[in-house]
């Protein structure tokens, strides 16, 4: 892998690990390239251009190309070049090549860059508007290294409460027909409803599919059992490989509120269990615990903290005299927080994954 000092389009194209990553063959490289962009944001445009070139060409790996195929491709470039009116030739910077395979790969990439450069020159001369650049998906990966929980807001306004040592990987924008995230560890999900774009959670041999609901996933790497606990809505659980493909000859389980699925990882066996005590966020419990009548502000906050497993930071002395009268039965977490703050003339923010409420208090 080349170092982080380069930034040109041709630099990315000559990096075989970058090509493998763009083609989706090396998921483990996600963190490397995300880290690269965070350190070199000025290179993002060139990185996207290189990605689009690779995706549009669909380059075969070097080992799959014969020398004859490479020679034919280069010959085609030369003939295209001769047909043009002496356009400027795009020359790649010299590099120290370490193997015959890399030399062959560089030849293919160089040939393709020449084709792209010549084609662009023709379009430019004919005043043809260049087509919009294809979208390249990028991901965020968050790991909770702290001792408390961490609140994450997803691009579709869904919420994830990440428990200590848990890791969540998700796209910066949900595209296509699915909303897909990848989890290691334990987290609580409150998914915004979208019938046309179901939400998927992948965690090793476990896949969870929902439309809009709230549930807990416990999928720590070292555990022999994974658990899914549903608070609201419906959740489909099934076994899968690490890429989310359904396992052969394995059935799925449909869970409703106050039900739990247990995945035994040794034989990929799924089992449904009905919980004896309703969860605090289930309809039965919220009808009782989320109807506040002249309730002290600290009591309201402790109810939210217990239900979601979060820690809310506020000045207890300033807010001690505030009271709340409201019914917060069906709202998601962010709406409940907004209504609570509105009632006491405060506001909340998410700072480094923590919920912080700031207000003047209710002394007057």
Q: What is the DSSP string of 15-66?
A: -HHHHHHHTTS-GGGHHHHHHHHHH-GGGHHHHHHHHHHHHHHTPPPGGGS-
Give the DSSP letter of residue 245.
P
Does residue 232 sit in helix, strand or coil?
A: strand
- Measure the CA–CA gap between 201 and 181, rounded to whole angstroms: 5
Distance CA 192, CA 206 (A): 21
How much is the average pLDDT of 215-244? 86
The answer, yes or no, to whether residue 17 has pLDDT greater than 80, is: no
Give, as one character, the DSSP assignment of residue 197: S
Q: Which residues pair with 190 in a beta bridge?
A: 159, 214
Residue 207 and residue 194: Cα distance in Å, rounded? Answer: 18
- CA nearest to 322, candidates 343, 293, 306: 343
Q: Which residues are paired to 199 by β-bridges?
A: 179, 210
Q: Over range 162-172, report the average pLDDT.
A: 93
pLDDT band of residue 16 (cuts 50, 70, 90) is confident
Q: How much is the pLDDT for 131?
A: 46
High-pLDDT (> 70) share of the chain, %: 72
Burial code (b: 16+ CB inside 10 Å, e: under 16) for 38-73 equals eeeeebeebbbbbbbbbeebebeebeebeeeebeeb
Q: Give tens-digit pLDDT for 92-150.
A: 333 333 344 554 555 555 555 555 554 444 444 444 444 445 567 788 999 999 888 99
Please, what's the largest Cα pairwise distance for the chain? 85
Helix 67-83 vs helix 100-125: crossing angle, to nearest 10: 20
pLDDT of residue 246: 54
Q: How far apart are CA 252 and CA 233, in angstroms?
A: 17
- Ranking 79-93, 189-203, 227-241, 253-267 by mean pLDDT, the lowest is 79-93
What is the arithmetic mean of pLDDT over 353-360? Answer: 90
Predicted local confidence at residue 84, as pLDDT: 45
Q: Confidence band (pLDDT; 50, 70, 90) for 81?
A: very low
d(CA 16, CA 106): 9
Which stretch of DSSP H or E encloses residue 284?
helix 283-289
230-241 as b/e, with b when 16 or more CB fall inside 10 Å? bbbbbbbbbbbe
Give the tens place of pLDDT for each residue, 317-335. 999 889 999 889 888 898 9
Per-residue pLDDT at 122: 41
Higher-confidence residue of 210 and 120: namely 210
Q: Which of 17-21, 64-68, 256-260 has the highest mean pLDDT?
A: 256-260
How confident is residue 63, by pLDDT bands cut at 50, 70 and 90? very low
Q: Check residue 242 and give its pLDDT.
A: 52
User: CA–CA separation, 160 vs 153, rounded Å?
Assistant: 7
Identify the structural domains of the chain with CATH numbers, from first to last: 9-125 (no CATH), 139-274 (2.60.120.1440), 283-359 (3.55.50.30)
- H helix or E strand, kind and range, residue 257: none
User: Residue holding tokens 């709340």?
Assistant: 324
Q: How far apart are CA 106 and CA 104, in angstroms?
A: 5
Mean pLDDT for 249-258 is 81
The SS3 assignment for 346 reads strand
pLDDT digits (tens, 9 = 90+) for 257-313: 999 999 998 888 899 999 888 888 888 888 888 999 999 999 999 999 998 888 899
**For residue 348, what is the DSSP state?**
E
Average pLDDT over all residues of the chain = 77
Asked if residue 178 has pLDDT above 80, the reply is: yes
pLDDT in tens, 127-139: 444 444 556 778 8
Lowest mean pLDDT among 34-48, 249-263, 330-344: 34-48
Output the pLDDT for position 150. Answer: 93
Q: What is the DSSP string of 77-136?
A: HHHHHHHSS-PPPP-PPP----SHHHHHHHHHHHHHHHHHHHHHHHHHHTTPPPPPPPP-
Reply yes or no on whether the pLDDT at 164 is more than 90.
yes
| Cβ contact 282:260 at 8 Å | no
Give me the long-range contacts of 347-356 (CB less than 8 A, separation at least 24).
Answer: 350/151, 350/153, 352/150, 353/142, 353/144, 353/146, 353/149, 353/150, 353/151, 353/152, 353/162, 354/148, 354/150, 354/151, 354/311, 354/313, 355/151, 355/310, 355/311, 355/312, 355/313, 356/312, 356/313, 356/314
Write down the pLDDT at residue 49.
80
State residue 129's pLDDT score: 45
Percentage of the chain beyond pLDDT 90 is 34
**315: CB partners within 8 A, 6+ apart:** 358, 361
């Amino acid at each position: 892998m080349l170092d982080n000092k380069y930034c040109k389009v041709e630099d990315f194209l000559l990096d075989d690990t970058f090509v493998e990553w763009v083609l989706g063959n090396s998921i483990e490289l996600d963190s490397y390239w995300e880290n690269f962009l965070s350190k070199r944001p000025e290179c993002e445009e060139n990185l996207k251009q290189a990605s689009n070139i690779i995706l549009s060409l669909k380059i075969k790996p070097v080992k799959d190309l014969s020398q004859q195929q490479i020679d034919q491709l280069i010959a085609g470039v030369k003939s295209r070049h001769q047909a043009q009116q002496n356009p400027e030739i795009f020359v790649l910077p010299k590099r120290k090549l370490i193997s015959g395979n890399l030399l062959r790969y560089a030849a293919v990439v160089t040939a393709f860059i020449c084709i792209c450069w010549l084609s662009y020159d023709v379009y430019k001369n004919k005043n043809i508007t260049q087509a919009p650049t294809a979208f390249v998906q990028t991901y965020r990966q968050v790991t909770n290294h702290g001792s408390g929980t961490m609140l994450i807001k997803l691009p579709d306004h869904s919420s994830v409460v990440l428990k200590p040592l848990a890791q969540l990987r998700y796209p910066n924008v949900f595209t296509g027909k699915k909303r897909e995230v990848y989890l290691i560890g334990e987290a609580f999900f409150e998914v915004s409803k979208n019938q046309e774009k179901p939400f998927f959670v992948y965690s090793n041999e476990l896949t969870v599919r929902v439309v809009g609901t709230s549930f807990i996933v416990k999928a720590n790497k070292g555990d022999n059992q994974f658990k899914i606990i549903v608070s609201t809505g419906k959740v489909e659980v099934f076994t899968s490989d690490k890429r989310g493909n359904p396992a052969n000859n394995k059935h799925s389980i449909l869970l409703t509120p106050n039900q739990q699925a247990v995945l035994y990882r040794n034989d990929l066996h799924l089992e449904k269990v009905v919980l004896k005590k309703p969860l605090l966020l289930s309809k039965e419990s919220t009808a009782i615990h989320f109807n506040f009548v002249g309730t002290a502000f600290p009591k309201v906050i402790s109810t939210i903290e217990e239900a979601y497993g979060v820690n809310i930071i506020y000045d207890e002395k300033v807010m001690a005299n505030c009271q709340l009268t409201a019914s917060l039965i069906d709202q998601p977490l962010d709406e409940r927080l907004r209504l609570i703050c509105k009632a006491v003339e405060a506001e909340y923010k998410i700072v480094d994954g923590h919920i912080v409420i700031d207000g003047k208090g209710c002394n007057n």
